[in-house]
Structure 1
Amino acid sequence: MSDFEEIINTRRSVRQYQDKDIAEELILKILKAGMQAPGSRLGAEPWEFVVIKNREILSKLGEIKPRVTNAPVAIVLVANIGRAFYKTVWQQDMGAAAENMLLEAVNLGLGGLWNGVAPDEEKMAKIGNIIGIDDIADLKPFCIITLGYPAEGFENKFMDKFDESRIHYEKY
């Protein structure tokens, strides 16, 4: 199995983390991976990122998305709709960025969790308020990725999810 194949096949959602800081250079690598995602049109990628380490802010976000509270780092993926070329498919672009980030986290020996926010307008508004974008119409929270070193005893391991019955050719 190639390294890339191993990363894809072993990525799991990590919900509990060690109380250990993440080096800035690792966070930057994860952000760069997000920005390497394909977008609907070159140069019109809508993503922006808010990195949060402050325990008070993490706790406030945790009132909306409880799994955020115990993470050492959370990254709110924010869509800048004004920058998006296709205004109706920004969620697909943001999803590609989020998955790139989660795969890079595994590559770096970290764990991560995708905490969905969009399209729940109420959650988007509350999170927007916490991170200071509630007055900016073109900015919309998409999801929150939590990051950290997985809790003791957790490992990213292969789980065979392949199901040939879900594959169809030419027609359903």
Structure 2
Amino acid sequence: MADFEDVINMRRSIREYTDEEVSDEDILRILKAGMQAPGSRLGAEPWEFVVIKNRETLEKLSQIKPRVKTAPVAILLVANIERAFYKLHWQQDMSAAAENMLLEAVNLGLGGLWNGVAPTEETMQKVADLFGLDNENQIPFCIITLGYPAEGWENKFMDKFDEGRIHYEKY
């Protein structure tokens, strides 16, 4: 396992993967990391997850989100609005869960990619239809692809710090 600073600084969007399978144990650890994210209210977090490993389903999903095609596994993050405490803040809760999952993937030596679904209505509807979501109370938020990074796609440090974006007391 990497130390925390390494995990934060090395995470990159990995768009190509090897064919090596991701273990169920690693998938579970990534899901647990997502559920440890801060939420608007304890016990009212909206997140639910659909783990997708079936090649036929991944192929169908890649017709909507092409980057899914090469991944050995994808996880669809679904906001269950009925569980959300603050009905208008679910995107923040879901984003925190997604980032935790991506960081845990790096910690485990995997790569990941956040594939946006919400707020694009057409994409949301297509994903909802594919997975049987009602798209009113079960909103597809994003798809995280996971796998072992292909050559040239390794997690590595890229300095993105820009002091010019920091403001004190007012903008």
TM-score (normalised: structure 1): 0.96
The equivalent residue for 1:154 is 153
Change beyond 3 A, Cα 1:55–1:102:
same
Q: Give the aligned residue type for 1:112.
A: G
What fraction of aligned residue pairs are identical, expressed as a percent? 76
2:61 corresponds to 1:61: yes
Q: Give the aligned residue type for 1:139.
A: Q
Q: Give the aligned residue type for 1:156.
A: N
2:166 corresponds to 1:167: yes
Q: Give the aligned residue type for 2:169.
A: E
Q: Give the aligned residue type for 2:162.
A: D
Q: Deviations over 1:28-62 (max 9, x none)?
A: 00000000000001110000000001111111111
Q: Deviations over 1:38-88 (max 9, x none)?
A: 000111000000000111111111111100011000000000001000000
Query: What SS does the corresponding residue of 2:114 show, helix, strand or coil?
Result: strand
| Superposition pairs of residues 14-163 of structure 1, within 5 angstroms | 14-133=14-133, 135=134, 137-163=136-162
Aligned pair count reads 170
2:99, 2:126 → 1: CA distance? 24
Q: Which runs of 5+ in 2 are unaligned?
A: none
Q: Answer whether contact 2:78 2:139 (CA < 8 A) is retained.
A: yes
Query: What SS does the corresponding residue of 2:160 show, helix, strand or coil?
Result: coil
Q: Which runs of 5+ in 1 are unaligned?
A: none
Q: Answer whether contact 2:125 2:135 (CA < 8 A) is retained.
A: no
TM-score (normalised: structure 2): 0.97
Change beyond 3 A, Cα 1:138–1:153:
same
Q: Give the aligned residue type for 1:152.
A: E
Q: Which region of structure 1 is more displaced relative to structure 2, 154-163 or 64-73? A: 154-163
Q: Answer whether contact 2:61 2:68 (CA < 8 A) is retained.
A: yes
Shift of 1:136: 5.9
Q: Answer whether contact 2:15 2:153 (CA < 8 A) is retained.
A: no
